[in-house]
A and B are shown apart, each in its own frame.
Chain A
Amino acid sequence: MATNPQEWREETVRVAGTDLTLLQSGTGQPVLVLHEELGHPGWLRWHAELARNHTVILPLHPGFGKSPRVEWVRGIRDLAGFYARVLRERNLRPVDVIGFSMGGWLAAEMAACDAAQFRRMVLVAPTGIKPSQGEIMDLFTVTARAYLDASVHDVQNTPEFAKLYGGEQTPEQFEAWEDARAETARLAWQPYMHNPSLGPLLEGVVGLPTLLIWGKQDKVVPVSVAEVFKKSIPGAQLVVLDNCGHRPEVEKQAEFTQQLQRFLA
Chain B
Amino acid sequence: MHIMSFSERAYIYVPEDEIIKNGSSYFGVPNTYFDPQKGSKLLNEYLDERVYAEELGFDGVMLNEHHQTPFCMGSVMDVEAAILARITKKVKIVLLGNPLPVGDPLRLAEELAMIDMISGGRLVPGWVRGAGSEQIANNINPAFNRERFNEAHDFVIQAWTKPGPWRYEGKHYHYRFVNPWVLPLQKPHPQIWIPGLISPETVIWCAQHRYPYVALATALEPTVEMVNLYADVAAQMGYQAGPENFGYLQNVCVAETEEKARELAKGFVFGGGFGAFARAEWMFPPGYNSKEATKRLAKAFTDPRTGTEIIRYTQGAVDVEEVKRSIEKNFQSTLENGLIIAGTPKTVLARIRFMLETLRPGIFGIWYHHGPMTAEERRTCLRLLGQEVLPAMREMAKELDLPGPYEQKPGIRPLPASGKRDPVVGIATAA
Chain A residues within CB distance 8 Å of chain B: 139-143, 145-146, 169, 171-172, 174-175, 178-179, 181-186, 189-190
Q: In the bound complex, do residue A175 and residue B298 qualify as a contact, i.e. CB atoms below 8 Å apart?
A: yes
Q: In the bound complex, do residue B298 and residue A171 qualify as a contact, i.e. CB atoms below 8 Å apart?
A: yes
Q: In the bound complex, do residue A185 and residue B286 qualify as a contact, i.e. CB atoms below 8 Å apart?
A: yes
Q: In the bound complex, do residue A190 and residue B141 qualify as a contact, i.e. CB atoms below 8 Å apart?
A: yes
Would you give the shortest CB distance from B303 to chain A, in whole angstroms?
13
Contacts A174-B298, A181-B286 aside, 7 further interface pairs with beta carbons under 8 A come to: A141-B285, A143-B281, A174-B297, A175-B298, A178-B297, A185-B141, A185-B287
Q: Does B289 contact A (CB under 8 A)?
A: yes
Contacts known (A140-B285, A143-B281, A145-B311); A185 close to B142, Cβ less than 8 A: yes
User: Which of B141, B311, B313 interacts with A169 by CB under 8 Å?
Assistant: B311
Task: Give the distance in Å from the alpha carbon of A190 to the alpha carbon of B144 in the complex.
Answer: 13
Task: Give the distance in Å from the alpha carbon of A141 to the alpha carbon of B280 in the complex.
Answer: 10
Q: Does B294 contact A (CB under 8 A)?
A: yes
Would you give the shortest CB distance from A137 to chain B, in whole angstroms?
13
Q: In the bound complex, do residue B143 and residue A143 qualify as a contact, i.e. CB atoms below 8 Å apart?
A: no
Q: Beta-carbon contacts of B168-191 to A below 8 Å, as 1s and 0s?
A: 000000000000000000000000
A145's nearest neighbour on chain B, judged by CB, is: B311
Task: Give the distance in Å from the alpha carbon of A172 to the alpha carbon of B299 in the complex.
Answer: 9
Q: Beta-carbon contacts of B355-386 to A below 8 Å, as 1s and 0s?
A: 00000000000000000000000000000000
Would you give the shortest CB distance from A172 to chain B, in whole angstroms?
8
A170's nearest neighbour on chain B, judged by CB, is: B298
Would you give the shortest CB distance from B304 to chain A, in whole angstroms?
15
Task: Give the distance in Å from the alpha carbon of A182 to the alpha carbon of B290 in the complex.
Answer: 10
Task: Give the distance in Å from the alpha carbon of A140 to the alpha carbon of B284 in the complex.
Answer: 9
Q: In the bound complex, do residue A178 and residue B142 qualify as a contact, i.e. CB atoms below 8 Å apart?
A: no
Which residues of the other chain, B, contact A190 by a CB distance below 8 angstroms?
139, 141
Which residues of the other chain, A, contact B294 by a CB distance below 8 angstroms?
174-175, 178-179
B299's nearest neighbour on chain A, judged by CB, is: A171
> Could you list some 29 contacts between A and B, CB below 8 A?
A140-B285, A141-B281, A141-B285, A142-B281, A145-B311, A169-B301, A169-B311, A171-B299, A171-B301, A172-B298, A174-B294, A174-B298, A174-B301, A174-B311, A178-B286, A178-B289, A178-B298, A179-B294, A182-B286, A182-B287, A185-B143, A185-B285, A185-B287, A186-B141, A186-B143, A186-B144, A186-B287, A189-B143, A190-B141
- Most chain B beta-carbon contacts within 10 A, residue among A141, A179, A184: A141
Would you give the shortest CB distance from A70 to chain B, in whole angstroms?
14
Would you give the shortest CB distance from B426 to chain A, in whole angstroms?
37
Q: In the bound complex, do residue B301 and residue A182 qualify as a contact, i.e. CB atoms below 8 Å apart?
A: no
Q: In the bound complex, do residue A141 and residue B282 qualify as a contact, i.e. CB atoms below 8 Å apart?
A: yes
Would you give the shortest CB distance from B263 to chain A, in whole angstroms?
37
Q: Does B295 contact A (CB under 8 A)?
A: yes
Question: Closest 9 A-B residue pairs measured CB to CB?
Answer: A182-B287, A181-B286, A171-B298, A185-B143, A185-B286, A189-B141, A174-B298, A186-B143, A178-B294
- Most chain B beta-carbon contacts within 10 A, residue among A140, A172, A175, A183: A140
Number of interface residues of B (CB under 8 A): 23
Q: Does B72 contact A (CB under 8 A)?
A: no
Which residues of the other chain, A, contact B301 by a CB distance below 8 angstroms?
169, 171, 174
Task: Give the distance in Å from the alpha carbon of A126 to the alpha carbon of B32 in the complex.
Answer: 36
Which residues of the other chain, A, contact B142 by a CB distance below 8 angstroms?
140, 185
Would you give the shortest CB distance from B283 to chain A, in whole angstroms?
11
Q: In the bound complex, do residue B286 and residue A140 qualify as a contact, i.e. CB atoms below 8 Å apart?
A: yes
Task: Give the distance in Å from the alpha carbon of A182 to the alpha carbon of B295 in the complex.
Answer: 14
User: Which of B287, B295, B310 interacts with A181 by CB under 8 Å?
Assistant: B287
Would you give the shortest CB distance from B227 to chain A, in whole angstroms?
29
Would you give the shortest CB distance from B277 to chain A, in whole angstroms?
16
Q: Does B393 contact A (CB under 8 A)?
A: no
Task: Give the distance in Å from the alpha carbon of A141 to the alpha carbon of B135 in the complex.
Answer: 11
User: Which of A140, A175, A182 interacts with B136 by CB under 8 Å?
Assistant: A140
Q: In the bound complex, do residue B286 and residue A143 qualify as a contact, i.e. CB atoms below 8 Å apart?
A: no
Task: Give the distance in Å from the alpha carbon of A34 to the alpha carbon of B297 in the complex.
Answer: 29
Would you give the shortest CB distance from A14 to chain B, in whole angstroms?
23
Task: Give the distance in Å from the alpha carbon of A179 to the alpha carbon of B143 in the complex.
Answer: 10
Q: In the bound complex, do residue A182 and residue B280 qualify as a contact, i.e. CB atoms below 8 Å apart?
A: no
Contacts known (A186-B141, A186-B144, A189-B141); A139 close to B286, Cβ less than 8 A: yes
Which residues of the other chain, B, contact A174 by a CB distance below 8 angstroms?
294, 297-298, 301, 311
Task: Give the distance in Å from the alpha carbon of A172 to the alpha carbon of B282 in the complex.
Answer: 21
B:270-292 near A, CB below 8 Å: 280-282, 285-287, 289
B284's nearest neighbour on chain A, judged by CB, is: A178
- Most chain B beta-carbon contacts within 10 A, residue among A145, A172, A189: A189
Task: Give the distance in Å from the alpha carbon of A49 to the alpha carbon of B4 in the complex.
Answer: 68
A184's nearest neighbour on chain B, judged by CB, is: B286
B:133-161 near A, CB below 8 Å: 136, 139, 141-144
Which residues of the other chain, B, contact A182 by a CB distance below 8 angstroms?
143, 286-287
Task: Give the distance in Å from the alpha carbon of A184 to the alpha carbon of B280 in the complex.
Answer: 19
